[in-house]
Amino acid sequence: MDKRTTESEVIAELKSGMTIGIGGWGSRRKPMSLVRAILRSDLKDLTVVTYGGPDVGLLCKYGKVKKLIYGFVSLDSIPLEPHFRQARQAGAFQAGELDEGMLQWGLRAAAHRLPFLPVRAGLGSDVVSVNPDFKTVRSPYDDGEELIAMPALELDVALIHMNRADASGNGQFLGPDPYFDDLFCHAAKRRFMSCEKIVETQDFQKEGSVHTVSINRLMVDGVIEAPGGAHFTECLPDYPRDEAFQKEYAATAKDPDAWEAFKARYLDVSEAEYQEAVKSR
């Protein structure tokens, strides 16, 4: 089955108020062409679940986020995403701050269609105090250990980016880490994957080992060929993080005029125009 589609067709399926999971990790292999398409849309009041990076900063800056559920929001080489920081300090969204392990376990519970999973992560920290609705359970075994009952993080939609994919929805990562993209897909009702290049299924072995094909076609509803689609985050080995661009982006958090200029040049344009503007820098 050919599942090829476009960013515009994906966004047409989304609705305001949805819960959207965004794959990648910090400023690494984020589905940024899909994020940029959301910025250009009328979507609002979104609940976003992610190990956050510039996806979060941009969505917050555009006022798209009603609630954010996150383990962190970082640009990696810049520890704290500055546009996220501004939105968080202004109380612009409801915050669901989690330990990284708790976020993983919430996705895993949703993937297994369980209401919760027990986890030690978060115990003894302020995560419990800032999430007062979370409950604990005791092990039914001899030690009776008390654990956090991490509720399932059920997603309406998952958006991920891979290095390679085939037309039927199998996805391959070629960098150092698969992150949790498969969990995001398993936890969601609809799943869309952008990729650097669509290849023939038999060509996966030419690109990397069979073990790097971490996304199964049964986990994906649409595939978008998007060269440079993760820019400005890294998508190794295809390209590193664009540190100069990231610094320019981060600096706009302190300069409204710089933000407006950045927005006009890179964000209030089509994806093709974005890629051309990046190349012409």
pLDDT value at residue 142: 81
Same domain, 167 and 74: yes
Interhelix angle 32-39/54-61, nearest 10 degrees = 0
Same domain, 79 and 175: yes
CATH of the domain at 237: 3.40.1080.10
pLDDT value at residue 26: 98
Does a structural domain hold residue 57? yes
SS3 helix, strand, coil % of the chain, rounded to 5? Answer: 35, 25, 40
Same domain, 15 and 127: no
Is 80 exceeded by the pLDDT of residue 184? yes
Give the span between the Cα atoms of 147 and 157, in whole angstroms: 29
List strand residue ranges (DSSP E) for the chain, in order.
19-22, 46-52, 65-73, 94-97, 116-119, 135-138, 146-151, 155-165, 171-172, 188-198, 222-225
Convert the pLDDT of each residue in 29-62 to its tens digit.
999 999 999 999 999 999 999 999 999 999 999 9
**Could you tell me the pLDDT band of residue 270, with boundaries at 50, 70 and 90?**
very high
Same domain, 166 and 87: yes
Is 80 exceeded by the pLDDT of residue 130? yes
Residue 232 sits in which domain range? 7-106+154-200+207-241
Does a structural domain hold residue 71? yes
Does a structural domain hold residue 81? yes
Convert the pLDDT of each residue in 96-108 to its tens digit.
999 999 999 999 9
Same domain, 11 and 146: no
Beta-ladder partners of 225 = 195
pTM for this predicted structure: 0.96
Judge residue 225's burial from the number of C-beta atoms within 10 Å of its C-beta, 0-12 exposed, 13-18 middle, 19 or more buried.
Answer: middle
Is 90 exceeded by the pLDDT of residue 210? no
Number of domains comprising the chain: 2
Same domain, 160 and 236: yes
